[in-house]
Amino acid sequence: MKTVIPIGPYHPLQEEPELFYLTLDGETVVDVDVRLGYNHRGIEKIAESKTWDQITFLIERICGICSTSHPIAYCNAVEDCAGIEIPERAKYIRSIIGELERIHSHLLWLGLAGHFLGYNTLFMWAWKWREPVLDLFEQTTGNRNHYAMIKIGGARRDIKNEDIPAIRKCVDSLVAPLEMITKAAIDDPVLHARLKGVGVLKKEDAIKYCVVGPTARASGVAIDVRKDEPHAAYDMVEWNVITQESGDVFAKAVVRLLEMFESIKIIQQCLDGLEKTKGAEFCVEVENIPPGDGIGRYEAPRGETYHYVRSDGTNCPVRHKIRAPTYVNLPSFKASCIGQTISDVAITLASIDPCYCCTERTAIIDSKNGKKEHLGEKELIRLSQEKTQKIRKKLGNQEGQSPFFLEK
């Protein structure tokens, strides 16, 4: 029997459309495979036809959520190639925008994870608290997304010193809801039962698959480009790399939750820096890019972004190579999904915060009789939500009484 449920690319919560093939034995996943290319727009090739300055706008549009990480990595690469040193004020501006982006990206992930588990309250709350961050972006950069703040040689526009008290107030106002949500998530027995021990990526596997970002840090691998290769203002402020040891989905959630507090810490110190450098220049003039090549890295919310550029001395690069974190993290599903039940797969796939916008269909291949069934993401999420429901019942925690309702 072969059932095909055609569900189109409808759940575009994340970036790249990808197609997963899960091979099942009963309820257990025995293999996982991935197909890419639905979202391929040929950005590296387009970059070769644009001037150095235009490319910052193009690569912002690689990914809507990391729309500052890519330009920072790219500008690092070009500055490496041309040997440019950026002014101090620009460093602070870069770090502030980058960290605000991290907060809104992690909140977005948290909301989606809540949705996958059937905690729609968490989904709505996390997205509600994301709004003040977006408003802040609109106030300081002029757009809610695609801020166009980063420029080769510094920042494209200044953050006005008069705006700083408002930014500070907004960032401070995030602390209370974030603390509440962290407490609620870390103490919730249902989440413990649902996420602990699920989708475990062991430390050896994390190293073997070369994973990056929160996925690696949740498995006890303390890598973070901001610490390992400091740039922008990251070596001028105090902050910690958050790690967890267990490598399961719960650990990944905890890493992201705690990272938001570190981001807030960084932003506050950078705002102090802006106050100190009032009136200083925030961008240096760049005449031309000499022949040569350069690399630039930045710790995007999902992990390390890597850009390589080669210049022949003209106004366009001859080669621009981009490596985004999700692509590196995807193969780790081989280690984390195999042996899981099908109802745990949705959250395990989501746990690396993949850019997998419209994972339109997950094809399920039953390994015994080779019959093939297509499950939509909707179906996966339903299975996942049902499991949470069951655990909730077992723990005597009825819907409507979850900690998210009780708090406040």
Partner 1 sequence: MKLKTWGLKKSIWVFHVSSGACNNCDIEVLDCLTPKFDIERFGMVLVGSVRHADVLLCCGAITRQSAPRIKRLYEQAAKPCFVVAIGGCACSGGIFKGSYSIAGPYDKIIPVHAYIPGCPPKPEAIIAGVVKLLSTLK
Q: Which residues are annotated as a binding site for Fe cation?
A: 66, 358
Q: Which of 3, 51, 124, 173 binds partner 1 (CB under 8 A)?
A: 124
61 binds ligand SF4 (CB under 6 A): yes
| Amino acid of residue 155 | A
Number of residues that bind ligand SF4 (CB under 6 A): 2
Contact letters for partner 1, residues 47-66 (x by CB under 8 A) = --x-------xx--xxxxx-
Q: Which of 48, 51, 64, 386 binds ligand SF4 (CB under 6 A)?
A: 64
290 binds ligand SF4 (CB under 6 A): no
Shortest Cβ 124–partner 1 spacing (Å): 6
Residue 165's binding partner among partner 1, ligand SF4, none (Cβ under 5 to 8 angstroms by kind) is none
| DSSP string across 37-85 | -TT---HHHHHTTS-HHHHHHHHHTT-STTTTHHHHHHHHHHHHHHT--
* Residue 342 CB partners (closer than 8 Å, separation 6+): 22, 24, 27, 28, 29, 364, 380, 383
Which of 325, 350, 186 is CA-nearest to residue 255?
186
The tokens describing 175, both together, are 């602390």
Q: Which is nearer to partner 1, 9 or 331 (CB)?
A: 9
Shortest Cβ 300–partner 1 spacing (Å): 13
Q: Which is nearer to partner 1, 174 or 358 (CB)?
A: 358
Q: Which of 10, 160, 288, 405 binds partner 1 (CB under 8 A)?
A: 10
- Give 77-80's long-range contacts (Cβ < 8 A, gap of 24+): 77/294, 77/295, 77/296, 77/307, 77/308, 77/309, 78/52, 78/152, 78/289, 78/294, 78/296, 78/309, 78/311, 79/152, 79/153, 79/294, 79/296, 80/294, 80/295, 80/296
The tokens describing 351, both together, are 């746990």
* Cβ atoms of 89 and 280 closer than 8 Å: yes
Give the integer Cα–Cα distance in Å for 94 and 234. Answer: 10
Helix (H, G, I), strand (E, B) or coil at 334: helix
142 binds ligand SF4 (CB under 6 A): no
Instruction: Name which of residues 228 to 287 contact ligand SF4 (CB under 6 A).
Output: none
Residue 208's binding partner among partner 1, ligand SF4, none (Cβ under 5 to 8 angstroms by kind) is none
Contact letters for partner 1, residues 146-185 (x by CB under 8 A) = x---------------------------------------
408 binds partner 1 (CB under 8 A): no
Residues of this chain that bind ligand SF4 (CB under 6 A): 61, 64
Residues of this chain that bind partner 1 (CB under 8 A): 6-15, 17, 37-43, 45-46, 49, 57-58, 61-65, 67, 108, 111, 123-124, 127-128, 131, 144-146, 355, 357-358, 360, 376, 378
